[in-house]
Structures are given as structure tokens and as C-alpha cells.
Amino acid sequence: MQLLRRIMAEEQPGITAALEAALAEMPPQTAGAAAHLLRAGGKRLRPLLTLLWGRVCGLSHDDLYRLGAAVEMLHAATLLHDDVLDGADMRRGRPAAHLVFGLTESVLAGDAMLAKALLMVSDLGDARLTACISRAVMHTAEGESAELAALRRLDVCQEDYLAMITGKTAWMLRAACELGTLRAGADDTVVRASARFGLDLGVAFQLVDDCLDFSPSEETGKPRGGDLREGKATPPVLLYFAALSPDQRQAFAAGFETGNIAGPELERVCREIYERGYAREARTLAEERLDAAAAGLAGLPPCPELTALREMCEYIRNRSA
């Protein structure tokens, strides 16, 4: 993981500068909430993917920072909206923006950031780039909407779940990769490879995230069972539910469907899901997607950025927080 860490550290100043430049161009009324979230940190995986894929295709132009910043801006916009929808209190160790700036202000800041991100991409004057990011926005909204419709339901199948996370998370990572190859003017086969990579990586990323919801909070630094409390039937929950006796199933369903799993009961269920190995088992789904993502890199010309992309797969595979 050495190379990825080095590149991550080296690229942070360029990514931060591009984000700050974009923030300075936002309407002042919306810049507060935008800055509150963007300056709270974050791994900046999306801009890094844009940079890495652009460089794999031989492009080293500064446009890549602006493109990467646009995807990060869009990602932040979705988080502002998501925290309102989820009623979240905290994000990146800070109070959620809607608690600081107000609900309406936070939603409008998200709207402005979404528009700003699209403008940043369309400024480059290539309709394929604009179409790429616009499609990602549409699928993100589609996935989030499907997730909301499935809340507190235990009849979600794995296919439905995968469709939801492909939309709400993976399409944006796909766009991050594809924008890099498109800007570099890569062949269609390479553009398609970058899109496939981003989609697989994104599905794996969300799967791992959903499994980490059951890890002890001392390990992740986040409250345990947040997704379960919100009523999200993620793969570890579905595996757990399927293995319960009929009576236990009825009792669990009654709490889950009415949103009444909280406090010590939430902790107990999380501990059982974790200790019985359902979170671990569900991670194998992510591992398959990461294997596919890494396999899709074969055949591309070897370079440090390609190695860093392989390391990104390992980084997600081994994530524990």
C-alpha cells in the first residue's frame, strides 16, 4: 500500500487547492455549509481515482484536479442531502451541516454544489464528460430513492441490495474513473475498463462500509449499528435474519419494521451479527468485486498509477474503519 499512500499524500495539496478554488466560486449564501463539510476532511478517494486513471492514460494536465474536485463536490452535495434524509447528527467528526446551518440551507447548499460540479465539468467543453457526470447524478438519486423505499423491509433480496448500492455509491466512483480516461482521450476499451473498475470498486466499497456497521465502535470510531437503527437491511442483517428461529425472526422483524431497535437491544443484535460472522461472510461479496476490479487492470501498460489502483483494491479489502 506504500505507493498509494505516497501518491495520496503527494496529491492532497493539489486536490485541496482545486476544492478551495471551487468553494471560492460558490454563492456566499451556500458556501458556509459547503465549506463546513468539505473542510472536515474525507479520504478524497474520488479525485484520486480521476487523477490515477488520467495518468494511466498519459495525461498530467491540471484539468484532472478540477475534474476530481468536481466529483468530490458532487459527493459532498449528496452527503448534505443524505444527512437530512437520514436525520444524521454527525458527519466526519463534526455536527451535520443541517444542524449548524438549518435544514433548508443545507439542502440548498447541496443543490448549489451539485450545479457547481456540473458547471466545472461542462466548462471543459466536452459533452461526453458532462454526460458522464450527469448520468452518475441520476443513478445516485435513483439508488438513494430505491434505498428509501426499501427501508425497514426484510424482504429485500441480494439483487435489490446490489442495485441500490450500485446506484447510490458505485456510479459516482465509476464517473470519477471514467472522467479521467475520457479527458485523456483514451480508447473506448480503456474508457470501458475504467468504468467497470469504478463500478466494481464502488460496490465493494459500500459493501465493506455496510459490514463495518457491526464492528465494535472502538475499532471504527463510529457508533455501532447506525444503518441497522435506520432500518437498512444490508447483507449481514439478511444473513442474521435468515438464520434465526421462527420465533426469534418474528421478534426481530417486529423491532426492525417499526424502527424500535435501539439502545442495549441494538448493541446486542450488532454483537450477534458480528460474533456469528455474518459481517465477515458478507465481506466475501466485496472481495469478489475487488478481484474483478483488479483483474480488469490486466493488459494496461504497467506504470506506478496502475500499481496504485491495485493497491486501492487492497485498501478497500482490508478496511477496518
Candidates 132, 105, 133; CA nearest to 27 is: 105
Q: Which residues are within 8 A (CB) of 137 and not within 5 positions of it... i.e. 6 or more apart?
A: 74, 114, 118
Judged by CB under 6 A, the residue of 31, 40, 59, 85 near ligand FPP is 85
Could you tell me the CA-to-CA distances from 10 to 3, 5, 14, 158 in Å, in that order?
A: 10, 9, 8, 39
Please tell me whether residue 77 binds ligand FPP under the rule CB under 6 A: yes
**Other CB atoms within 10 A of residue 10 CB:** 9
Give me the least distance between CB of 229 and ligand FPP, in Å please.
11
Could you tell me the CA-to-CA distances from 69 to 44, 152, 175, 177, 209 in Å, in that order?
A: 9, 35, 12, 13, 23
CA distance 185 to 190: 10
Are 280 and 235 a contacting pair, CB within 8 Å?
Answer: no
Please tell me whether residue 144 binds ligand FPP under the rule CB under 6 A: yes
Q: Lay out the site mask for ligand FPP across 102-141 (x = CB under 6 A, - = otherwise).
A: --------x---x----------------------x--xx
Judged by CB under 5 A, the residue of 11, 63, 72, 86 near Mg ion is 86
Please tell me whether residue 81 binds ligand FPP under the rule CB under 6 A: yes
| Total residues found in the chain within this entry | 321
CA distance 180 to 307: 16
Please tell me whether residue 82 binds Mg ion under the rule CB under 5 A: yes
Give me the least distance between CB of 135 and ligand FPP, in Å please.
12
Cβ proximity to ligand FPP: between 190 and 211 the closer is: 211
Give me the least distance between CB of 223 and ligand FPP, in Å please.
10
Cβ proximity to ligand FPP: between 30 and 140 the closer is: 140
Q: Under the rule (CB under 6 A), what is the footprint of ligand FPP?
A: 77-78, 81-82, 85-86, 88, 110, 114, 137, 140-141, 144, 168-169
Q: Under the rule (CB under 5 A), what is the footprint of Mg ion?
A: 82, 86
